[in-house]
Amino acid sequence: MIPTKEEFFNGLAAKHGAELQKKFAAASVAVCGAGGLGSNIAIALARAGVGRLKIIDFDKIEITNLNRQQYFADQIGLFKAQALKENLSKIAPYCEVTAEVAKITEENVTSLLKGFPIVCEAFDKAEAKAMLVNAILENMPETYLVSGSGMASLNSANSIKTRKITDRFYLCGDLTNDVDAGDGLFGARVLVCAAHQAHTILRIIAGEFEA
Amino acid sequence: MVKINGQEIDAAGKTISEIIEKEGYNAARLAVELNGSIVPKAKYAETVVKENDVIEVVRFVGGG
């Protein structure tokens, strides 16, 4: 038996406080990329009771994703955006999730993200991260943007931090460890960065704007 | 002097493009803030930095 929407809200409010829970329930967040960062961020936000999520990703699940991405073995080959929506429906049945199988480009970024005051950059390629961040900062100045850069390697997780770069642009990660350096990508360290991003988003929703 | 990522650098009079090239940054992997505002990529070549400007160059790395 799945609890009712009201029971869900009350359960979350018991942990977060009713006033804050209302803010979470009224929030809309777009998650760009549903890999190691995005799948973990989306689940953290859905668990917190965020009301509306849009998941945008063009990729399919591969076996090499399973060390860090929130998918099941029998989901290999499925589109990540759709599989994540399915998984989120089991975790947070009253979270309104839109799955968009699409590649975000400079041309479609504004239309894809319209109506979402908070955007999370959760891509894997550095060029794609830079493209999305530049496009949002240039064209959508009212949007809060939380980006992740630097979570590869087995280095200490303590070097992963959240920095506030401008009024509405937050950057999480160690800013240094590039996956292209060949030092690997470890699920727990990626999760630390994802947790920084998800937590920063919850703080923004709560009206706490310091990094 | 101009402050770039917290470091004082003698770059007044130079364009953003010139600074990126001199520092050896990969232009496809960065975002540039000048005094708190984003510099559009299309304006890198024509944006000249002045004495006491504060520049933040965010260099993205891969992984996610």
Residue ranges of domains in chain B, CATH in brackets: 2-59 (3.10.20.30)
> Chain B partners of A178 at a C-beta cutoff of 8 Å?
61-63
Q: How many domains does chain A have?
A: 1
Looking at chain A, which residue has its C-alpha nearest residue B5?
A165
**Do A189 and A183 meet the contact criterion of CB atoms below 8 Å apart?**
no
**Pairing of β B2-4 and β B7-9:** antiparallel
Question: Would A55 be classed as within a structural domain?
Answer: yes
Question: Would A211 be classed as within a structural domain?
Answer: no
The answer to whether the CB atoms of A179 and B61 lie below 8 A apart is yes
Average pLDDT, chain A: 97
**What CATH number corresponds to the domain at position A39?**
3.40.50.720
- Residue A97: which domain range? 5-206
> Chain B partners of A125 at a C-beta cutoff of 8 Å?
62
Percent above pLDDT 90 for chain A: 100
Average pLDDT over residues A94-122: 98
Residues A44, A199: Cα–Cα separation, whole Å: 8
| Complex-level ipTM | 0.94
* Nearest residue, CB atoms, A137 vs list B31, B61, B63: B31
A and B: number of Cβ contacts within 8 A: 78
Between the CA atoms of A84, A88, A91 and A94, what dihedral angle is there, to the nearest 10 degrees?
A: -170
The answer to whether the CB atoms of A190 and B31 lie below 8 A apart is no
> Is B8 an interface residue toward A (CB < 8 Å)?
no
- Band (pLDDT 50/70/90 cuts) for residue A45 is very high
Percent above pLDDT 70 for chain A: 100
DSSP string, B9-35: E--TT-BHHHHHHHHT--GGGEEEEET
Q: What is the pLDDT of residues B12-26, one digit of tens each?
A: 999 999 999 999 999
Q: What is the pLDDT of residues A170-202, one digit of tens each?
A: 999 999 999 999 999 999 999 999 999 999 999
- Band (pLDDT 50/70/90 cuts) for residue A157 is very high
The answer to whether the CB atoms of B64 and A148 lie below 8 A apart is yes
